[in-house]
């Protein structure tokens, strides 16, 4: 089958890789692969520490995808000949004041009720685990199964693996779909002409909701959610695991990379397609990260960036067949696209094999016990109008979403 993937972020590239491995002839079209939200992302694979009171379906998707990550990372590194800095050393969520501690305790109760593997630590135990933590930390919860990866390395490795498998990457913008008799037969790139396809996968991240030439009733209700993020140059071992906590009412996190880089994240702003990095956003990131780990002020700033998360009204991704024959969607992953890429890619690759007349399967193929991806993420759930929904960040619900400092706050 000829498959065209529109968008080369972690989601589109993962889909392309899995589809090529199943023997399809794949073309990726993207003016700048790997440059979207995937370039900004921290790369936490943290469904347990990000669990929220209202988003259990998302937790189930996250756990299923997390279970795939070790094999996904190992196979990708082998095929690409590049390491993706996959680490599975857990997340330590810490609290300072009595109120924080009580809220974290309630969250731990909820996690235990869901049978999630978490461990409660005293302040002293937290500091023993992470000596760079602030002395005022009163306690914490360790989610030992959480992991993380470097999304920039993942994109680079996916591009190398695609090249090794003969996948064509066209550096152009898609400006429309080629449609015949109501079915999609290819895409129209900006440079002109048509790239023919039996199936088209729309994986254009935050731009998926506004792609030109796609009928409005088929476009997913995806909106851009801006996130500012900062990278500092540290020494390997500065932190041993991801550290997070609620500071000044918003959730802050630090992610250590293997080369010593420390990622500080992230703002959440409803600012349309604005990707300016602002003084207020960076100030807030530094202020909050310093409360958690005071030593970060000694580190050199390596990179500052803003990315656009593909948000949906119900915070769930949009994956599977659309109402238009031949068009599949793999988008709307909001704050968890890196985490959810392996599951998304496996599901979409399996869907490509099915005839358009087959019913949507209830269960994605792969590991036993997977959640019903086709049902939870169905593109058809928005047919009756756009839903209203909560907007949460990597911080998760139950903890306040980080908003940028004034005047960006909405």
| Interface residues toward ligand FAD, by CB under 6 A | 6-12, 29-33, 35-38, 40-44, 173-174, 203-207, 211, 227, 229, 265-266, 307, 309-310, 331, 333-339, 394
Shortest separation between residue 115's beta carbon and ligand FAD, angstroms: 23
In 3D, which of 383, 398, 351 has the Cα closest to residue 218? 383
DSSP 240-285: SSEEEEEETTEEEEEEE-TTSEEEEE--BB--TT-----HHHHHHH
CA 93 to chain centre: 19
Given the complex with ligand FAD, which of 42 and 141 has the nearer CB atom?
42
Beta bridge partners of 354: none
Place of tokens 């550096």: 171
Q: Which residues pair with 254 in a beta bridge?
A: 243, 264
Q: In what order do the strands lie in the sheet with 199-202?
A: 168-170, 25-29, 2-6, 199-202, 327-331, 318-321
Nearer to ligand FAD, 107 or 211 (CB): 211
Q: Cβ 97 to ligand FAD, closest distance in Å? A: 26
How far apart are CB 309 and ligand FAD at their closest, in Å?
5
Of 35 and 54, the one with the shorter C-beta distance to ligand FAD is 35
Cβ closest to ligand FAD, residue 14 vs residue 364: 14
- Min CB(14)–ligand FAD separation in Å: 8
C-alpha 77, offset from chain centre: 19
- One DSSP character per residue, 304-343 reads EEEEEEEE-TTS--EEEE-SSBTEEEEE--GGGHHHHHHH
Q: For residue 4, what is the enclosing H or E element?
A: strand 2-6
Instruction: Report the nearest approach of ligand FAD to the CB of residue 5 (Å).
Output: 9
Q: Shortest Cβ distance from residue 128 to ligand FAD (Å)?
A: 26
Least distance (Å) between residue 295 CB and ligand FAD: 22
> Toward ligand FAD, which CB reaches closer, 123 or 228?
228
CB of residue 133 vs ligand FAD: minimum separation in angstroms? Answer: 20
Nearer Cβ to ligand FAD, position 4 or 293? 4
Smaller CB distance to ligand FAD: residue 123 or 151? 151
Q: Helix or strand or coil: residue 95?
A: strand
Smaller CB separation from ligand FAD, 105 or 400: 400
Q: Please return the burial class of 400, using the count of CB atoms within 10 Å of its CB with bins 0-12, 13-18 and 19+.
A: middle
The separation between the first and the last C-alpha atoms of the chain, rounded to the nearest angstrom, is: 46
Distance CA 310, CA 164 (A): 29
Q: Which is nearer to ligand FAD, 139 or 344 (CB)?
A: 344
CB of 266 to ligand FAD, least distance (A): 4
Helices 10-21 + 337-352 axis angle, to 10? 40
User: Strands 168-170, 139-143: parallel, antiparallel or unpaired by DSSP?
Assistant: unpaired
């Amino acid at each position: 089958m000829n498959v065209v993937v529109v968008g080369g972020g972690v989601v589109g590239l993962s889909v392309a890789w899995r589809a090529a491995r199943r023997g399809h002839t794949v073309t990726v079209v993207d003016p700048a692969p790997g440059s979207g939200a995937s370039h900004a992302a921290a790369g936490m694979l943290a469904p347990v520490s990000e669990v929220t009171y209202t988003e259990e379906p998302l937790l189930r998707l996250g756990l299923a995808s997390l279970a795939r990550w070790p094999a996904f990372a190992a196979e990708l590194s082998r095929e690409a000949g590049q390491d993706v800095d996959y680490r599975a050393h857990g997340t330590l969520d810490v609290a300072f004041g009595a109120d924080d501690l009580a809220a974290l305790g309630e969250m731990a109760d909820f996690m235990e009720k869901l049978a999630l593997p978490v461990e409660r630590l005293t302040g002293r135990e937290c500091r023993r685990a992470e000596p760079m933590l602030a002395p005022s930390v009163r306690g914490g919860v360790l989610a030992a199964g959480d992991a993380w990866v470097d999304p920039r390395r993942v994109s680079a490795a996916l591009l190398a693996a695609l090249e090794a498998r003969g996948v064509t990457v066209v550096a152009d913008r898609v400006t429309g779909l080629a449609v015949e008799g109501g079915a999609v037969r290819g895409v129209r790139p900006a440079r002109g002409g048509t790239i023919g396809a039996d199936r088209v996968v729309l994986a254009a991240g935050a731009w998926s909701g506004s792609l030109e030439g796609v009928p409005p009733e088929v476009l997913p209700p995806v909106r851009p959610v801006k996130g500012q993020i900062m990278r500092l140059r540290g020494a390997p071992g500065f932190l041993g695991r991801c550290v997070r906590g609620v500071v000044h009412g918003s959730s802050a996190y630090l992610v250590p990379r293997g080369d010593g880089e420390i990622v500080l994240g992230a703002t959440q702003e409803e600012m349309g397609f604005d990707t300016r990095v602002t003084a207020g956003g960076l100030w807030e990131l530094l202020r909050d990260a310093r409360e958690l780990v005071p030593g970060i002020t000694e580190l050199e700033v390596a990179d500052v960036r803003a990315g656009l998360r593909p948000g949906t009204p119900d915070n769930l991704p949009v994956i599977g067949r659309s109402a238009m024959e031949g068009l599949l969607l793999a988008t709307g992953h909001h704050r968890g696209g890196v985490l959810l890429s392996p599951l998304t890619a496996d599901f979409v690759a399996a869907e490509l094999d099915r005839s358009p007349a087959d019913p949507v399967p209830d269960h994605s193929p792969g590991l036993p016990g997977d959640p019903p991806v086709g049902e939870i993420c169905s593109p058809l759930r928005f047919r009756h109008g756009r839903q209203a929904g909560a907007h949460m960040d990597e911080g998760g619900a139950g903890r306040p979403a980080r908003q940028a400092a004034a005047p960006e706050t909405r």
